[in-house]
Amino acid sequence: MGTILKLLYAVAISLLLVSCGGNSSAENEVISEKPVSIFAAATSFSFEREDYVISNFTFEKVESPNELMLCNEIMELSGKQAMSFTALEDASDYDGKDFSRKVLGVLVIGRNEFKVEFLFNVKKENNEVLFAGMLAFNVGSIIKSEFNVVNLYVKGK
């Protein structure tokens, strides 16, 4: 009887270890697939009133209290120079809960170009044009981040 209990105990421990190990690696894969968020303020931008599109903007730094290493890596990649977005086509309506317009374009960081979709809102306030938007881009092997997708939130006025 004691031998059977010891055998059952060993099997239970083995199953527990295998079960935990399987869940851990699957959990890590899910975490790495989630996008990480960083933030920037546009230093300049162009708004095309006819097409109702932010046709380009520049920014000089990225920030995030939670992703300092990623921000530092992006700043190094930029060579401490301004980074930019340029729209490649006309904007279209977007039916998202946070943004109403979208446009495809190119994000330039240093010598690297990323194809991006820019989701944004534009409003006029006191004769000023204000925008808020998000660029989602895949960092691939260029940036040594544990995240594949980065969401860059940008504001400009």
- DSSP-derived secondary structure for 58-110: EES--B-SS-HHHHHHHHHHTTTS-EEEEE-S--EE---SS-SEEEEEEEEET
Give the domain CATH number at 47: 2.40.128
Per-residue pLDDT at 97: 86
Range of the domain at 14: 1-33
Q: Is residue 23 domain-shared with residue 39, that is, in the same domain?
A: no
Q: Is residue 29 domain-shared with residue 71, that is, in the same domain?
A: no
List b or e across 31-46, with b for residues whose CB sees 16 or more CB atoms inside 10 angstroms. Answer: eeeeebbbbbebeebe
Q: Is residue 60 domain-shared with residue 132, that is, in the same domain?
A: yes
Q: Is residue 8 domain-shared with residue 40, that is, in the same domain?
A: no
Q: Is residue 9 domain-shared with residue 62, that is, in the same domain?
A: no
55 vs 118: CA distance, rounded Å: 10
Per-residue pLDDT at 137: 86
Q: Is residue 128 domain-shared with residue 68, that is, in the same domain?
A: yes
Could you give the 3-state DSSP secondary structure of residue 157? coil
Q: Using one digit for the tens of pLDDT, what is the confidence trace for 21-80?
A: 444 433 333 334 577 899 999 999 999 888 888 999 999 999 998 888 889 889 999 998
Could you give the 3-state DSSP secondary structure of residue 141? coil
Q: Is residue 16 domain-shared with residue 89, that is, in the same domain?
A: no
Residue 7 — very low, low, confident or very high, per pLDDT cuts 50/70/90?
Answer: very low
Q: Are 113 and 107 in contact (CB under 8 A)?
A: yes
Q: Is residue 47 domain-shared with residue 74, that is, in the same domain?
A: yes
Q: Is residue 28 domain-shared with residue 43, that is, in the same domain?
A: no
Per-residue pLDDT at 50: 82
Task: Enter the pTM of the model.
Answer: 0.73
Look at the chain and report how many structural domains it folds into: 2
Residue 149 — very low, low, confident or very high, per pLDDT cuts 50/70/90?
Answer: confident
Higher per-residue pLDDT: 148 or 13: 148
Q: Is residue 42 domain-shared with residue 15, that is, in the same domain?
A: no
The CA-atom distances, in angstroms, between 65 and each of 61, 69, 138 are 13, 10, 21
Q: Is residue 132 domain-shared with residue 73, that is, in the same domain?
A: yes
Q: Is residue 58 domain-shared with residue 23, that is, in the same domain?
A: no
Per-residue pLDDT at 33: 58
pLDDT at position 12 over 50: no
The percent helix, strand, coil of the chain (3-state, each to 5) is 25, 45, 30
